[in-house]
Amino acid sequence: MNRIKVLLAVLAVTGFQAQAQVNVLNAKTPAEIGQKSEQQKLLDNDNPLPYGYVNEERDVLFGRHVWEIIDLDQRVNFPLYFPVEDNLGAERRSLFNVLISAIENGEITEVYGDSYFRTKKTLEEVKQSFFYKEMNNYGKEVWNQYQDSTEEELLAQGILTDEHYSTSYVTGADVQQYAIRGYWYFDARQGELKYRLLGICPKAIPALDKLRDGDKGEPIELFWVYFPDARKTLHKALAFNEKNAASPFNFDHLLNSRRFDATIYMVENVYGDRKIEQYLKDNAQFQLLEAQRLKEEIRNFEQDMWSY
Domain boundaries, the chain: 1-37, 59-130+175-308, 133-169
Which of 14-23, 32-41, 202-211, 238-247 is least confident? 14-23
Output the 3-class SS for 155-216.
HHHCCCCHHHEEEEECCHHHEEEEEEEEEEEEECCCCEEEEEEEEEEEEECCHHHHHHHHHH
DSSP-derived secondary structure letter, 275? B
Q: Which is nearest to 71 in space by CA: 82, 80, 83?
A: 80
Q: Which is nearest to 298 in space by CA: 195, 189, 181, 164?
A: 195
Q: Which is nearest to 239 in space by CA: 226, 250, 231?
A: 250
Q: Which is nearest to 98 in space by CA: 214, 33, 178?
A: 178
Of all residues in the chain, the percent with pLDDT exceeding 90 is 65
Which of 20-24, 113-117, 250-254 is least confident? 20-24
Q: Which pLDDT does position 248 carry in this prediction?
A: 87
Cα→Cα distances 307→185, 186, 297, 301, Å:
18, 15, 15, 10
Q: What is the pLDDT of residues 102-144, one digit of tens each?
A: 999 999 999 999 999 999 999 999 999 899 999 999 999 999 9
Is the four-CA dihedral 83, 95, 200, 49 of positive or negative sign?
A: negative
Which of 96-105, 112-121, 229-238, 245-254 is least confident? 245-254
- Residue, of 49 and 203, whose pLDDT is higher: 203
Residue 267 predicted with pLDDT over 60: yes
pTM of the model: 0.83
- What is the mean predicted confidence (pLDDT) over 85-95? 81
Q: What is the pLDDT of residues 176-231, one digit of tens each?
A: 999 999 999 999 888 899 999 999 999 999 998 988 888 788 999 999 999 999 99
